[in-house]
Chains A and B, each alone.
Chain A
Amino acid sequence: MNQQLRRHIASAAVIIGFFVAWELLCIMFGIKDIVLPRPSEILITLWSRLPAIMPHAVQTLYTTLVGFALGIVFGVLLGAMVGSSRLAYDVAYPLLIGFSSIPKVAVVPIFVLWFGAGTVPAVLTAMILCIFPIVVNVATGLATTEPELEDVMRALKASRLDILLNVGLPRAMPYFFASLKVAVTQAFVGTVIAETVASNRGIGNLMMIASSSFDVPLVFAGLLVLAVLGVGLYVIFSFIEVRVTGWALRKDEFALGQ
Chain B
Amino acid sequence: MMSTAFDVSLTGIQPAKPTVSSQPEIARGDAFVKLENVALTYGRGEHRVHALDATDLSIERGDFVALVGPSGCGKSTILKLVTGLLRATSGYVFVGGRELGAEPIRVGMAFQNPTLLPWLKLRENVMLPLKIVPPFRQEYRSKRKTEFRDRIEALLEQVGLKGFSDKYPWQLSGGMLQRASLCRALVHEPQLLMLDEPFGALDQFTREELWSIMQSLWMTRRPTVLLVTHDLKEAAYLANRICVMQARPGRIISESVVSFPRPRTIAMSYDPEFAALTQRLRELIFDTRPTTTEAQQ
Question: Which of A171, A245, A255: most chain B Cβ within 10 A?
Answer: A255
Among B252-272, those with CB < 8 Å from A are none
Residue A248 CB within 8 A of the other chain: yes
Given known contacts A155-B109, A157-B104, A247-B168, A149 and B132 CB-to-CB distance under 8 angstroms: no
Do the beta carbons of B171 and A255 come within 8 Å of each other?
yes
Q: Are the CB atoms of A148 and B115 closer together than 8 Å?
A: yes
Residue in B closest to A158 when the chains form the complex, CB atoms: B132
Bound complex: CA of A250 vs CA of B171, how far in Å?
Answer: 9
What residues of B have a CB within 8 angstroms of the CB of A152 in the complex?
109, 111, 115, 117, 128, 184
Residue from A148, A245, A248, A255 in contact with B111 in the complex, judged by beta carbons closer than 8 Å: A148
Chain B's nearest CB lies how many Å from the CB of A234?
23
A157-B84, A247-B168 known; A166-B128 Cβ under 8 A: yes
**A171 CB contacts on chain B under 8 angstroms:** 117, 119
For residue A159, which residue of chain B has the nearest CB?
Answer: B132
Q: What distance in Å separates the Cβ of A158 from its nearest Cβ neighbour in chain B?
A: 5
B151 proximal to A (CB < 8 A): no
For the complex, is A154 an interface residue (Cβ under 8 Å from B)?
yes
Q: Which residues of chain A are near B171, meaning CB under 8 Å?
A: 255
Does A162 lie within 8 Å of B132, measured CB to CB? yes
**A residues neighboring B (CB under 8 Å):** 146, 148-149, 151-158, 162, 166-167, 170-171, 173, 245, 247-248, 250, 255
Contact check, B85 vs A247: say whether CB atoms are below 8 A apart: no
A156 touches B85 (CB 8 A): no
- Name the residue on B nearest A255 (C-beta): B168
Q: How far is the CB of B183 from chain A (nearest CB, A)?
A: 13
Interface set, chain B 85-114, CB cutoff 8 A to A = 85, 104, 107-109, 111, 113
Q: Are B107 and A156 neighbours in the complex by a CB distance under 8 Å?
A: yes
Q: What CA separation (Å) do A248 and B84 show in the bound complex?
A: 31
User: B229: CB under 8 A from chain A?
Assistant: no
- Find A247's partner among B107, B111, B170, B184 (CB 8 Å cutoff): B170
Q: Does B35 contact A (CB under 8 A)?
A: no
- Give Cα distance in the complex from A149 to B115, angstroms: 6
Q: Which residue of A lies closest to B185 (CB)?
A: A155
* CB of B69 to closest CB in A, whole Å: 21
The yes or no answer to B83 lying at the interface (CB within 8 A) is yes
Q: Are B85 and A155 in contact (CB under 8 A)?
A: yes
What residues of A have a CB within 8 angstroms of the CB of B128 in the complex?
Answer: 152, 156, 166
With a CB–CB cut-off of 8 A, which chain B residues contact A146?
Answer: 115
Provide the bound-state CA to CA distance between A162 and B131, in Å.
Answer: 9
Q: A155-B194, A156-B129, A157-B104 are in contact. Are A173 and B119 (CB under 8 A)?
A: yes
Shortest CB-to-CB span from B41 to chain A, Å, is 20
Q: Judging by beta carbons under 8 Å apart, are B167 and A255 in contact?
A: yes
User: Quick check: is B176 within 8 A (CB to CB) of the other chain?
Assistant: no
Quick check: B85 and A170 within 8 Å, CB to CB? no
Q: How far, in whole Å, are A151 and B85 apart by their CA atoms in the complex?
A: 7
| CB-based nearest A residue for B108 | A155
Inter-chain CA distance A83–B133, complex, in Å, is 25
Residue-by-residue, is B105-147 near A (CB-CB < 8 Å gives 1, otherwise 0)? 0011101010101110000000011011100000000000000
Tell me the B136-181 residues at the A interface (CB within 8 Å): 167-168, 170-171
A162: chain B residues within 8 A (beta carbon): 132
Interchain CA distance A170-B131 in the complex, whole Å: 15
A156 lies within 8 A of B132 (CB): yes
From A155, which residue of chain B is reached at the shortest CB distance? B109
**Interchain CA distance A213-B113 in the complex, whole Å:** 68
B118 close to A247 (CB less than 8 A): yes
The one of B83, B118, B119, B168 that contacts A155, using a Cβ cutoff of 8 Å: B83
A247 touches B119 (CB 8 A): yes
* A245, B133: Cα distance in complex, Å: 27
29 A-B pairs with CB atoms under 8 Å apart are A148-B115, A149-B115, A149-B117, A151-B85, A151-B109, A151-B111, A151-B115, A152-B109, A152-B111, A152-B128, A152-B184, A153-B132, A154-B84, A154-B85, A155-B83, A155-B84, A155-B107, A155-B109, A156-B109, A156-B129, A156-B132, A156-B133, A157-B104, A166-B131, A170-B117, A170-B119, A245-B119, A247-B118, A247-B170
